[in-house]
Structure 1
Amino acid sequence: MRHAPAELAERPADPAPGPLSPELLRRMHGYWRAANYLSVGQIYLRANPLLERPLTIADVKPRLLGHWGTTPGLNLLYVHLNRLIVEHDLNMIAVIGPGHGGPGLVANTWLEGSYTERYPAIERSRNGMERLFRQFSWPGGIPSHVAPETPGSIHEGGELGYSLAHAYGAVFDNPDLIVACVVGDGEAETGALATSWHSNKFLNPARDGAVLPILHLNGFKIANPTILARIGLDELDELMRGYGYDPYLVEGDDPEEVHQLLAATLDTVLAEIRAIQAAARDGSDGGERPRWPMIVLKTPKGWTGPKIVDGKPVEGTWRAHQVPIADFDDPEHLRQLEEWMLSYRPAELFDECGKFRDEYASLAPTGHRRMGSNPHANGGELLVPLSLPDFRDHAVALPGPGQVKAAATAVLGGWLRDVMAYNMDAANFRLFGPDETASNRLQSVYDVTGKAWMAETEAVDENLSRDGRVMEVLSEHLCQGWLEGYLLTGRHGLFSCYEAFVHIVDSMLNQHAKWLKVTRTIPWRKPIASLNYLLTSHVWRQDHNGLSHQDPGFIDHVANKKADVVRIYLPPDANTLLSVASHCLRSRHYVNVIVAGKNPEWQWLGIDEAVRHCTAGAGIWEWASDAGEPDVVMACAGDVPTLETMAAVMLLREFVPDIRIRVVNVVDLMVLQPQSEHPHGLDERAFDALFTTDKPVIFAFHGYPSLVHKLTYRRTNHANIHVRGYKEEGTTTTPFDMVVLNDLDRYRLALDAIERIPRLRDRVTAETDRYWAMMERHKLYIAEHGDDLPEIRDWQWKR
C-alpha cells in the first residue's frame, strides 16, 4: 500500500514536510480542534459551552448518548476535504458510513455556517453553541447519528453497510460530482458493503462523477476488533487491489505528520481522478477500465480523547467507541472531562461571544461549495420531472373483456423503452435490477440503451455497453443502494425484482422509508422522486422453480410503514399496469410497490376503463356483475387472483343460474384501509357501496390473507369478509396446482361462496362432493401428464 508522495513513508523530521505551509497547517489543526471540541460538547454538555467557569455536574447531561470513537477521524477528513474543495473549486459531498459519528458532521456544518442557515435558532454564538450541545440526543432534539436533520447528508448511517452503494448511485450521470465516502472498518464487514466495492466496474468516467472511498481503519467496533484492522496492511492492500482500486495509506497518531500525509495523499488521488476522467472524456483511455484510487486512513479510535479512565486504556481501544467517560458521581470523571475539553484550547478558537474566529472559519468553502449546502445532498432542489410518453400509445386493444392475452410486463417494457429514450439527454432515469431485466420481460429497453458495464467483454455477451443506462448486478442490496443514491441526488428510477427475493432489501426499505417520513417534516428538505419497485416473477407463477421462489410477503412489510409514505398496487392486467406505472414515475416522496405478472394472461380492461379504475383504486366490474343487490361479492386483488375469481364467477353461474354476483377488483391495496388511516382509504360510504354491509365477500388475494384482514378489520362488513391467499403451500408443480395448494383456485372460491349464501345452504353437501371430485381429477391428471387440465389451460371468460 502506497503513501503519497513516497518520501513521506518514513517518519518525517520536525517539522513534517508536505503540501501544507506552517500557517495553513496551524489553521487546519485549529479547525480540527474546534470540530472535536464541539463534538465532545454535544455528547456531554447542556450548559457552560465555552467552559468560561469550572465545569459542574449541573453542566453535564443526565443521559450520555452518542459515539466518540469514530468522530475525530471524521472531523479530520472534513477539514481536509474542505481544503481540497477550496483549492480546486470542487463539487463534492460526503457520505459517512460510520453514521454514529453524527456529532462530528453536525459540528462541521455549524462551523461552516450551513447548519445555522437551516436552523437559525442555532446561531453561531455562545447561546447557539449551548443550544447545539443541548439538542444532541435530547428529547425533541436531533439523533446521535448523521440523520436527515443533518445538512449535507444523504445517508443516515443508522444501519451499516450501504454507504458505498449510495455514493456510487449519487455520481451516476453526475459528471462533475465527487463523493468522498467514508467506510467504517466495522461497516466493511457487512455483506452489502463488501459487494459495493465492485461498483467501480459500472462507473463510466466519461459521463459519471467519481467516488473516493476512504476506509476509516480505527481498529474496533463496539466491543471487538475489526477484521480489516487485523489482517495486516499487506493483505489489506491486496484485497483492495483485488477489488480494482489503487490504495493509499495514511497512518499515524502524530497530528502534524498525519495532516501533511493526508493532504499530500488527497492531492495525489484527486490528480489521479482528474487524469482518469480527462482520458475517458477525450477518448485517450482506449476504453480500458480505470483503477480508481482509494484511501485507507488508519488512526487511533477515539483519537485526542482520554487515554486512561479508571486505570483502563481508552484511546485506541474499543472503550472509546461510545462515551469514554461516564458515571459522574465520581468527581475525578468530571475533572477528566474538563481537562479533555480544555485540551482543545477553546479560547483560541472561539471569541468571548462564542463566534468561531475568522482565521479558522475562513478555511471553509462558501455558498453551495460547502458540503452542508451542496444541492446534491438535497436532491429535491435539483429534481427535474421526467419527460413521459403517453402510456396510452402502448395500450393493449381489447374487443372485450377476457378476449386477448398479453404479458403485462412485456407491454410495460415497451413503454419503459420510450421513457428511457425520452430522457436520454437529461440523463436522469435508470432501470435497476439483479440480472433479471430480460427474465422480467423488460428487454425492450435494450432497443435504446444497453447494460452499464466497464469490465471485460466476450463475443457471446449481449447488450453490454460502457454507456448503458440499465444497471444489472446480482445483488439486490447493490441495486437498491445505487437507486437510493440516484434518487437522493435528484434523479428517477425503477427497481425490477423477483418478488420472493426483494425481501433481501427489507431492511434497506426500512431505512429509506424512515428517511422519507422524517424529511416530510423538515421544511428545507425538498421532495425527491419516489422509490419505485416492480415485483414480478411472482408467487403464483413460480411453480416451475418451486417453494424457494414463492413468497408474496414484501407487501406486508411495506404496509407496516407510515401511511403518508407507502403505496401498494396490484394491477390485474397490462393496461392497468401502464396506468399505475405512469402514476408512480410521476409521484414524489413515496415508496411505490407494483406487483405484476410477466406471463401471458387474459386482459380485462380497455385503456380508458383501466385509467378510471386505477384512479378510483377499486371498483365494481359492471360487465361481470349482476344488477341489484348481490347474493355474494367476489372480490380480487392481483392478476392471478383476478383470473381465478372470474373463472369462479362463471362456475357459480353454471352451478346456480339464478345467483346474483358482484365482482369488485382492487388495484390500490390501501383503499381497503379507512380514510382515517391512509390518505387513499375509501370513506365508509364508498367502501360499503362496493362490499355491502351484510353480504358475504369472497376475497381472492395475491398475498397472505391476514393482510386484507388487517386493513379491513374496522370496516362494517369485516365479519363477512373471507380471504383466500398464499398460505405457505408450494412446490414444483403446475400453475393451476399452485392455486389449488393454497385454496385460491376457482373451484374453492365457488364453494366458498355457496357455503356462505344462506339460501344455498341445502346445496353445500352436493357442491362439496363436486369440489373434491374435481380436485381428485386434477391431481391425477397433473401426475400423469405434467400439465394442467385442458379446461384449465384453455379457459376463457364468457358472459
Structure 2
Amino acid sequence: MRDVTTPEPATVLTDQELRALDAHWRAANYLAVGQIYLMANPLLTEPLRPEHIKPRLLGHWGTSPGLNLVHTHLNRVIRARGLDALCVWGPGHGGPAVLANSWLEGSYSETYPDVSRDAPGMERLFRQFSFPGGVPSHVAPETPGSIHEGGELGYSLSHAYGAAFDNPDLLVACVIGDGEAETGPLAASWHSNKFLDPVHDGAVLPILHLNGYKIANPTVLARLPEPELDELLRGYGHAPLHVTGDDPLAVHQAMAAAMDTALDRIARLQQSAREEGITERPRWPVIVLRTPKGWTGPAEVDGLPVEGTWRAHQVPLAGVRENPEHLRQLEAWLRSYRPEELFDEHGRPLPEVLECIPEGTRRLGATPHANGGLLLRDLPLPPLERFAVPVDKPGTSLHEPTRVLGELLENVMEATSERRDFRLVGPDETASNRLQAVYQASGKAWQAGLLPVDEHLDRHGRVMEILSEHTCQGWLEGYLLTGRHGLFSCYEAFIHIVDSMVNQHIKWLRVSRRLPWRRPLASLNYLLTSHVWRQDHNGFSHQDPGFIDHILNKSPEAVRVYLPPDTNTLLAVADHVLRSRDYVNVVVAGKQPCFDWLNLEQARAHCARGAGIWEWAGTEGGTGEPDIVLACAGDVPTQEVLAAAQLVRHRLPGLAVRVVNVVDLARLLPAEEHPHGMTDAEYDALFTRDKPVVFAYHGYPWLIHRLAYRRTGHAHLHVRGYKEIGTTTTPFDMVVRNDLDRYRLVMDVIDRVPGLAVRAAAVRQTMEDTRNRHHTWIREHGTDLPEVADWTWAG
C-alpha cells in the first residue's frame, strides 16, 4: 500500500485567519443553540423571558459544535484551494449545525427567501426548527447541501463514496459520529477505499468525530487507546491524523493543520495515479477529531456534569420556561458566544464571520452535487429491437431473461464509457445473476491486490461487487443523489438486508418531490433474481419473496413493483425503469431458462397496460363473460397458470377461461390509492364482478388480498403463492409444496366454478393422483415428471 507523507507547516493560521475562523464557529454555535431554544428575541436585544422560549424543546446539541468546527474549516480549505466539495453529515441529528452554516453562507436564504440573512430571517430560522409547519431536527431533504438523512445511522461513509465515484474533481468530506461507527453498515463501508479509483473518482476524506458518548452510553472507538485506534484505521487502509482538545484556538490551529496535510496528501496521491501511472493502492488520510460532547455548552446543570458527557446529547437545559435558573444559564450560554461581535444591529453577519466562506456553488449548501438532478443527463439506452428474442408462437422457445438483459446493460456500459455515469452494483452476484455480458464493457472495480487467477477485475471498472448489501445500497444511493444512474442486482431473499435503508431513501424521494428546488433524480432500480421459485438447489435459506410486501407498504407516489413474465417483457420493463425519475423500482425476474410468451411489440403493449388479458391463452372467445379467471403475476406462476389453462382446455372443454397476466402489481390497487391503480370499472372489466378468480402469485398470497380487498369481486378471489414452505428439491416440487402447481390450480377451478365439482370429479381425481405420482417420482429419480420437464405450450 502506498503511503504519502507531507510535512505539517509550523504555522498554519495567521492571527486574522484564526480570529475569522473562530468568529464563524462561534456564530454557527450561537445559531445552533438558538434553533433549539428560541422563538423570539434572536439577537438578545432584551433579557430572555420564558415567552421567548419554545414550548417544546427538540433537537440535538451534543454533536453540533463539532459539526460547526468541521464546516468552518471546510469553508477555509475550499476557499483557499478552489475546491469543489460536498460534505456528508453522518451525525445528521446535528441538524442545527448544518442549518446554521447554510444560513451563514447565504445558501439557505437563496433557497428559502423568507428566511433572510438578517434579524427577521434569524427569528424565522429559529422558530421553524423542530416546530409544527417548520423543518425537521435532522439534516433532511429540506436542508440545502445535503444528500444524507441523518435520522438513521450507519450509511454516511457508503453515501460519501457513492458520491465520489466518477466525480474526479470532487472532494467528499464525511463526518462519522462515534456512535454511528458502531453500526454494521458503517463498519463494512470502511472497505470502500478498496474500490475508489484515484484516476476517475474523487476523494473521500473521512472525519471520525469522537465526542465520547451516544444517547446514554460511552462509544467504543472513543474509549480505545489512541495506538489501538490507529492500528484499526491503518488496518482499514487509512493514515490517521489526530485533532484533540477543548481549547478552541488550539483546536482551530490543529484542525487547519490536519486539513491541509490531508488535502496535500490527497492531491499527491491523485497526481501520482493520474500523471505518473502509479497503480499501487493509496493509503488515504482520515482525520480523527476528538472534542467534548456539547462543547462550549453548560458545564453543569442541576449539580450534574453536562459538557463532555452523554447528558449533552439533546437538550442540556430542559426546563427553561419553568426554571429561572435554567433560563439564566441559557442566556449566559448564548451570550458567551458574544453575538454583538458576530452580527450587526440588523442581524446580518459581520464581514469577519463571512471571511472564510467560499463563493457561489463552491459553498457547501449550494453545491449542485447535493442536488443531483441539476447534473443528471438522460441515459443513452439502445433500441430494444437489438436484444429482443423472436417469438413466433407463445411458449415454445426459452431464454434466460437476465442473460439477455445483461446484453442490454453491456451496451449501456459501453455507451457511458466516456461520460461514466452508470454503475451496476451487487453483492458478488453479477455473473451468478447472468449479467456477465457487462464485463465486455467494464470490469469489476478493484484497487486491492491482483492474482493471476482473477477474472474481470479492473482498476477503472464500473461494476461494483462487495458482499455487503448495505454497502452496495449506500454506494448506489450516493451515486444517484449526485446525479448519475445505476442498477442494484441481488438475490431476492437477501435484499431484505437493506429494508431499512430503502425506507429512508423512499422518504427522501417523497419529501424531495415537494421541494421545487430539488430536481428529479434517476430512480433507484432493483433487479431481484435467483428468486424464491428457482432456489431449489440452495433451499429454504434462499427463499423469501417478501421484499415486494415491504416496498408496497411505502409511499405510493414513489414505489413501483414489476413482475415481467418473460424475456421481452423484462426488456420493456428495464427500458422503462432506467428512464424513470424519482422512484424506487423493484423488478423481479428469473435467470433460469423461461418460456417466451410475447414478442417485443406485444410485450411493450402489455407492460404499458400493466395488466391485461392474454386472449390466446384463454377459452372464452367472444361468447361473453368467462366462467373463471386464471390470473398470474411472476414468471413461474405464469407458466403454471398457462399449463393449467391448457389442462382445462383439454380436460374440461366448453369451460370459458380468461387468462389475465399482471406485470405492474400496483395496478391492483384502487386508482385513488396509487397513480398506477385501476378504477373499479377497469378492474371489474378485467377480473369480473362475480366470477371466481384463481390468482397464482409470485410472493406471499395475502399481499394480493390486501391490494384488492376493496374490490367488488374480492369475495371470489382465491390466491395461491408462497406459503413459507421451502427446501432443497426439484423446481416443480417447490410449486407443488406451496400449492401453486398447475394440477392444484385445475383443482381450484373445479372447486370454485359452481356446479363443476360433481361434473368434473374424475378430472379432479386425476389431478390429485398426478400430484401424488410426482411426489413418488422425484424421490426415486431426483428429477421432475417428464410431462412437466418437457412441457411446452400447445394451445
TM-score, L = length of structure 2: 0.98
Is 2:314 the partner of 1:318? no
In the TM superposition, 1:455-470 aligns within 5 A as 455-470=448-463
Q: Displacement of 1:4 after TM fit?
A: 9.8
Is 2:359 the partner of 1:366? yes
SS of equivalent residue, structure 2 residue 706: helix
Residue 119 of structure 1: which of 89, 104, 112 is its match? Answer: 112
User: What's 1:232 paired with?
Assistant: 225
Q: Displacement of 1:610 after TM fit?
A: 0.4
Moved more, 760-769 or 564-573: 760-769
In the TM superposition, 1:220-299 aligns within 5 A as 220-285=213-278, 287-299=279-291
Paired with 2:409 and 2:599, the residues of 1 have a C-alpha distance of: 20
Paired with 2:11 and 2:786, the residues of 1 have a C-alpha distance of: 81
- Answer yes or no: is the 8 Å Cα contact 1:122–1:129 preserved in 2: yes
Paired with 1:553 and 1:35, the residues of 2 have a C-alpha distance of: 46
User: What's 1:743 paired with?
Assistant: 739
User: What's 2:447 paired with?
Assistant: 454
Where does structure 2 lack aligned partners over 5 or more consecutive residues?
Answer: none
User: What's 1:434 paired with?
Assistant: 427
Residue 610 of structure 1: which of 583, 600, 603 is its match? Answer: 603
User: What's 1:796 paired with?
Assistant: 792
Residue 103 of structure 1: which of 76, 96, 112 is its match? Answer: 96
SS of equivalent residue, structure 2 residue 718: strand
Paired with 1:324 and 1:764, the residues of 2 have a C-alpha distance of: 77
SS of equivalent residue, structure 1 residue 770: helix
Residue type at the aligned position of 2:227: D
Q: Displacement of 1:759 after TM fit?
A: 2.9
Q: Deviations over 1:594-618 (max 9, x none)?
A: 0000000111000100000001101
Paired with 2:97 and 2:263, the residues of 1 have a C-alpha distance of: 24
Where does structure 1 lack aligned partners over 5 or more consecutive residues?
Answer: 9-16
Is 2:772 the partner of 1:779? no
Q: Displacement of 1:690 after TM fit?
A: 1.1
Paired with 1:447 and 1:360, the residues of 2 have a C-alpha distance of: 54
Q: Deviations over 1:610-637 (max 9, x none)?
A: 0000011011111112213211110000
Residue type at the aligned position of 1:538: H
- Answer yes or no: is the 8 Å Cα contact 1:3–1:250 preserved in 2: no
In the TM superposition, 1:144-293 aligns within 5 A as 144-285=137-278, 287-293=279-285
Residue 94 of structure 1: which of 79, 87, 94 is its match? Answer: 87
Residue 728 of structure 2: which of 725, 732, 735 is its match? Answer: 732
C-alpha RMSD of the superposition: 1.3
Paired with 1:611 and 1:776, the residues of 2 have a C-alpha distance of: 40
SS of equivalent residue, structure 1 residue 212: strand
Paired with 2:560 and 2:290, the residues of 1 have a C-alpha distance of: 44
Identity of aligned residues (%): 65
Paired with 1:40 and 1:765, the residues of 2 have a C-alpha distance of: 78
TM-score, L = length of structure 1: 0.98
Paired with 1:211 and 1:3, the residues of 2 have a C-alpha distance of: 16
- Answer yes or no: is the 8 Å Cα contact 1:4–1:261 preserved in 2: no
Is 2:552 the partner of 1:556? no
Residue type at the aligned position of 1:118: T
Q: Displacement of 1:283 after TM fit?
A: 3.0
User: What's 2:707 paired with?
Assistant: 711
Q: Displacement of 1:357 after TM fit?
A: 0.7
User: What's 1:660 paired with?
Assistant: 656
User: What's 1:13 paired with?
Assistant: none
User: What's 2:698 paired with?
Assistant: 702
Residue 518 of structure 2: which of 507, 515, 525 is its match? Answer: 525
- Answer yes or no: is the 8 Å Cα contact 2:404–2:567 preserved in 1: yes
- Answer yes or no: is the 8 Å Cα contact 2:21–2:356 preserved in 1: yes
Q: Displacement of 1:7 after TM fit?
A: 7.9
Paired with 1:98 and 1:456, the residues of 2 have a C-alpha distance of: 33
Residue type at the aligned position of 1:713: Y
- Between the two proteins, the alignment pairs up a number of residues equal to 789
In the TM superposition, 1:616-695 aligns within 5 A as 616-626=609-619, 627=621, 628=623, 629-695=625-691
Paired with 2:565 and 2:84, the residues of 1 have a C-alpha distance of: 46
Residue type at the aligned position of 2:572: S
Is 2:593 the partner of 1:600? yes
- Answer yes or no: is the 8 Å Cα contact 1:437–1:443 preserved in 2: yes
- Answer yes or no: is the 8 Å Cα contact 2:20–2:355 preserved in 1: no
Moved more, 712-721 or 153-162: 712-721
User: What's 1:761 paired with?
Assistant: 757
User: What's 1:85 paired with?
Assistant: 78
- Answer yes or no: is the 8 Å Cα contact 2:746–2:764 preserved in 1: no
Q: Deviations over 1:482-532 (max 9, x none)?
A: 000000000000000000000000000000000000000011000000000
- Runs of 4 or more, structure 1, over 6 Å off, are 2-8
- Answer yes or no: is the 8 Å Cα contact 1:3–1:248 preserved in 2: no
Moved more, 364-373 or 764-773: 764-773
Paired with 2:732 and 2:472, the residues of 1 have a C-alpha distance of: 33
Moved more, 213-222 or 361-370: 361-370
- Answer yes or no: is the 8 Å Cα contact 2:7–2:261 preserved in 1: no
Paired with 1:765 and 1:248, the residues of 2 have a C-alpha distance of: 80
Residue type at the aligned position of 2:714: H
Paired with 1:118 and 1:7, the residues of 2 have a C-alpha distance of: 39
Q: Deviations over 1:694-753 (max 9, x none)?
A: 111110000111111111111121111111001101111110110011110001111101
- Answer yes or no: is the 8 Å Cα contact 1:491–1:529 preserved in 2: yes
Residue type at the aligned position of 2:550: H
Q: Displacement of 1:761 after TM fit?
A: 2.9
Paired with 1:169 and 1:426, the residues of 2 have a C-alpha distance of: 16
Q: Displacement of 1:654 after TM fit?
A: 2.2
Paired with 1:391 and 1:282, the residues of 2 have a C-alpha distance of: 40
Paired with 2:703 and 2:386, the residues of 1 have a C-alpha distance of: 35
User: What's 1:379 paired with?
Assistant: 372
Paired with 1:697 and 1:738, the residues of 2 have a C-alpha distance of: 23
